[in-house]
Amino acid sequence: MTGSGVEGVVTMSVQPVDDDGEALLTVDELAAATGMTVRTTRYYAGLGLLPPPERRGRMAYYGPQHRARLDLIRALQDHGFTLSAIEKYLSRIPLEAPIEDLAVQRAMLTSWTSEKRETLTRRQVEKRAGRRLSDEDLDTLVKVQGLRREGAGYQVLAPFDSAVQTLDLHIPVDSFVEASAAIGRHMDELADELTAILRDKIVTPFRESEHSEEEAARFEQMFSRLRQLTLEGVVAGFQHAANQVISRSLSS
């Protein structure tokens, strides 16, 4: 009796790799690795925020560079960047930028970022404000960048407490919007300059030198203190500049 069968045939899928031997991921695997949905990942790719995937037949694969770029996008989101601000930020970073550069960018963002913002309900925002807020009040707080709408909820931004106080000043909202825009313009320039200093004078030299785990831990702690000192310096510098403007106006 003859048989014509194949016993114990096992097919094994081989993880595809790029030219450097790094594992390539499908869009589903990339989304899972970065904590994003597949839809969001594809949306960012469609906006040109990610390099084109590597095509192998009908399959599209993503490598470490795509993951590093998505990790940077997540860091920007945690920092409070809107989508348009993220697009503007990433437009300054070439799509072919190496992973190391993207990691440095993320490290610098993390060093200036406070704790991650929670999305609050309207009632929670009112509790934080210590008062009832009308629809008009909420719109005003959004316009003066005290709040940001996030789906059906809100995220409280750094100027929230000051923004709430403006509700009782009976001053046209447009004046606060213009002031916020002016602050935003100059803060963007200041942040760019401070980030360049941080990257060129501190982060890059540290990355290029050998260091122990203990030294790396101290370096991370130093960043936290550096952030506090920098913010204090920005406030003190603004107060000094404002006093000089007032003095000049009184003496003229």
HEC profile of the chain:
CCCCCCCCCCCCCCCCECCCCCECECHHHHHHHHCCCHHHHHHHHHCCCCCCCEEECCEEEECHHHHHHHHHHHHHHHCCCCHHHHHHHHHCCCCCCCHHHHHHHHHHHHHHCCCCCCEECHHHHHHHHCCCCCHHHHHHHHHCCCEEEECCEEEECCCHHHHHHHCCCCCCHHHHHHHHHHHHHHHHHHHHHHHHHHHHHHHHHHHCCCCCHHHHHHHHHHHHHHHHHHHHHHHHHHHHHHHHHHHHHHHC
Taking the alpha carbons of 205, 211, 215, 221 in that order, is the dihedral positive or negative? positive
Q: What's the chain's average pLDDT?
A: 78
For the segment 110-137, the average pLDDT, to the nearest whole number, is: 80
Residue 133's pLDDT is what?
Answer: 93
Residue 113's pLDDT is what?
Answer: 55
Which of the residue ranges 72-86, 142-156, 183-197 has the most confident prediction, judged by mean pLDDT? 142-156
Maximum distance among all alpha carbons in the chain?
114
Residue 250's pLDDT is what?
Answer: 64
Residue 1's pLDDT is what?
Answer: 47
Residue 5's pLDDT is what?
Answer: 47
Torsion of CA 243, 245, 249, 252, to 10 degrees: 110
For the segment 80-89, the average pLDDT, to the nearest whole number, is: 82
For the segment 15-22, the average pLDDT, to the nearest whole number, is: 74
pLDDT-derived band at 13, boundaries 50, 70, 90? low
Rounded distance between C-alpha atoms, residue 216 and residue 129, angstroms: 40
Residue 35 has pLDDT above 90, yes or no: no
- What φ, ψ does residue 114 adopt, rounded to 5°? -80, -170
Residue 110 has pLDDT above 70, yes or no: no
Residue range 27-112 in CATH 1.10.1660.10: yes
Residue 182 has pLDDT above 50, yes or no: yes
Residue position matching structure tokens 């490598």: 63
Rounded distance between C-alpha atoms, residue 17 and residue 23, angstroms: 4
Residue 135's pLDDT is what?
Answer: 92
Rounded distance between C-alpha atoms, residue 153 and residue 9, angstroms: 54
> What's the one-letter identity of residue 230?
T
Residue 2 has pLDDT above 60, yes or no: no
Residue 229 has pLDDT above 80, yes or no: no
Residue 7 has pLDDT above 50, yes or no: no
Residue 150's pLDDT is what?
Answer: 85
Q: Worst-scoring range by mean pLDDT, 1-10, 21-30, 167-176?
A: 1-10
> What's the one-letter identity of residue 42?
R
